[in-house]
Amino acid sequence: MKELAQELQEKSTLSENTLESVPEQDLTIDQKMQAMKKNALAEAESLTRNMESGGGKDDGSDEEKEDGVEEAAGTTLATKKKKKKKNNKKKKKKQTEPPTIPVSALFANKIYPVGEVSDYKDDNLWRTTDEEKRALEKQNFDQYNDARRAAEVHRQVRQYARRTIKPGMTMTEICELIENGTRNLVEANGFESGIAFPTGCSLNHVAAHYSPNAGDKIVLQYGDVCKIDFGVHVKGRIIDSAFTLTFDPVYDDLLAAVKDATNTGVREAGIDVRLGDIGAAIQEVMESYEVEIGGKVLQVKPIRNLSGHDIELYKIHGKKAVPIVNNGDPTKMEEGDYFAIETFGSTGRGIVRQDMETSHYSRAYDVPKTSIRLPRARALFDTINREFGTLPFCRRYLDRLGEDKLALQSLCDSGHVDGHPPLVDVKGSFTAQYEHTLVLGPTRKEVLSRGEDY
């Protein structure tokens, strides 16, 4: 009890919330205790706020955040003091290079950093302080915490990828580096947690859906524009986030245009916002950029037949598309929606078509009732169902399961599986992409995948 009182005494002198104006001897013991309690609560609240505003940062600074959460969760000051001592003795675990340590081991209390949060505006400003919405926000904590764990894995893996991927590496090495990192950090384990979809590493005029198949000998070049698009899930909560890797500074303006366009979409997203209006805002920003590549000045075009999308549990594409041009879609974003806001800029036509060999596949969300007659096809379908469910996969993921892929085409023909071929603009053009995943919570928007890099 003495220790507790002393601790409280220290708190009250540190806090801004003290009853400083009242001489201490004039207070009854009871009043004193009340004031101290108030101060302790205020500090816990401010620690929680600190933790939240620190979201999306690299690890290493989260020790304080963790303490903040423990306090906010109701740990008494006495036990907090003990924990602090213990933490100081025990050196904090650090990520290895390449990354191998699960993020669950880096955040000992299993509470993961909050992303970039912002309040709703105008007609939805009331949500910020509404009691019912705040209660709902608390109820959803576990769901958000799962998504934040996936986001932390994405940040750590991609930051390693950004400093490691160099011209001269094969596309296969690049994908394996990302996929191994993801599997380790998220502790890949069936539908509990794992890779959410194939690693995209589309080059130059190829905008999306390229990942190497077995035998692919393509090597990354200094002059390439490479879109790294990969996904992580925890209990089906998917983080879908992408960035563009280049080595030649001639592409810097193209990347700046697309980054700006994506951030515009992220900023405009909100409850009751029309999808077409988001597309219009993205288009305006994207088209305001001119880039000079190879001595030619070109306007950056949004790729009008690509779009962002909402995300459902284990389903990377929900029912809503977030256009990147003004298509007049009056559909509104709603409370509870998760969105992948992604934009693509091109120096070509700004339209893509399917081309080249397919690597990406997914089981149809609604499987046809017709039975699969070929035994080989039935066996493959069972594997796909068991290993991926509705999560997209690529040919390499089947290879590592030792699966024979001969029946893949027949499953596509019967409508049980969909192939997603690479999407390309005109040859000689360059395309770039940035993408973030956000959630429209009851009281605020959270950009889950935000990091210091993008």
Complex with Co ion: residue 347 or 433, whichever CB lies closer: 433
- The answer to whether 342 is a known ligand-binding residue is yes
- Cβ 311 to Co ion, closest distance in Å? 8
- Cβ 316 to Co ion, closest distance in Å? 7
- Cβ 51 to Co ion, closest distance in Å? 28
Residue 79 CB partners (closer than 8 Å, separation 6+) = none
Q: Write phi, then psi, for 85 (nearest 5 degrees).
A: -60, -45
438 binding Co ion? (CB under 5 A): no
Choosing from 67, 116, 425, 435, which is the catalytic residue? 435
Size of the site for Co ion (CB under 5 A): 3
**3-class DSSP state of 421:** coil
**Applying CB under 5 A, which part among 198-206, 236-244, 278-286, 324-332 lies near Co ion?**
236-244
- Cβ 317 to Co ion, closest distance in Å? 8
- Cβ 454 to Co ion, closest distance in Å? 15
- Cβ 208 to Co ion, closest distance in Å? 9
Site for Co ion in 82-101 (CB under 5 A): none
Complex with Co ion: residue 240 or 446, whichever CB lies closer: 240
- The answer to whether 309 is a known ligand-binding residue is yes
**Applying CB under 5 A, which part among 237-245, 372-380, 386-394, 437-445 lies near Co ion?**
237-245
Choosing from 224, 342, 425, 446, which is the catalytic residue? 342
Catalytic, 52? Answer no
- Token code pair at residue 366: 């609604």
Interatomic CA distance for residues 199 and 189, integer angstroms: 18
Catalytic, 240? Answer yes
Interatomic CA distance for residues 266 and 127, integer angstroms: 19
Q: Between the CA of residue 174 and those of 157, 200, 205, what are the distances in Å?
A: 12, 10, 19
C-beta neighbour count of 278 within 10 angstroms? 27
- Token code pair at residue 215: 């035998």
Complex with Co ion: residue 62 or 240, whichever CB lies closer: 240
Choosing from 240, 260, 337, 446, which is the catalytic residue? 240
341 binding Co ion? (CB under 5 A): no
- The contact mask relative to Co ion for 355-394 (x = CB under 5 A, - = no) is ----------------------------------------
**Applying CB under 5 A, which part among 131-139, 144-152, 240-248, 299-307 lies near Co ion?**
240-248
Q: Which of 66, 71, 152, 240 binds Co ion (CB under 5 A)?
A: 240
- Cβ 240 to Co ion, closest distance in Å? 4
Catalytic, 334? Answer no
Catalytic, 123? Answer no
340 binding Co ion? (CB under 5 A): yes
Catalytic, 284? Answer no
Complex with Co ion: residue 62 or 446, whichever CB lies closer: 446
**Applying CB under 5 A, which part among 159-167, 238-246, 247-255, 273-281 lies near Co ion?**
238-246
| Residue with smallest beta-carbon separation from Co ion | 340
**Applying CB under 5 A, which part among 233-241, 375-383, 394-402, 438-446 lies near Co ion?**
233-241
Complex with Co ion: residue 240 or 260, whichever CB lies closer: 240
Cα–chain center distance at 150: 7
Residues placed in the known binding site for a divalent metal cation? 229, 240, 309, 342, 435
- Which are the catalytic amino acids? 229, 240, 309, 317, 342, 435
Residues placed in the known binding site? 209, 229, 240, 309, 317, 342, 435
Residues placed in the known binding site for substrate? 209, 317
Q: Using CB under 5 A as the criterion, which residues of the chain lie in contact with Co ion when the complex forms?
A: 240, 340, 342
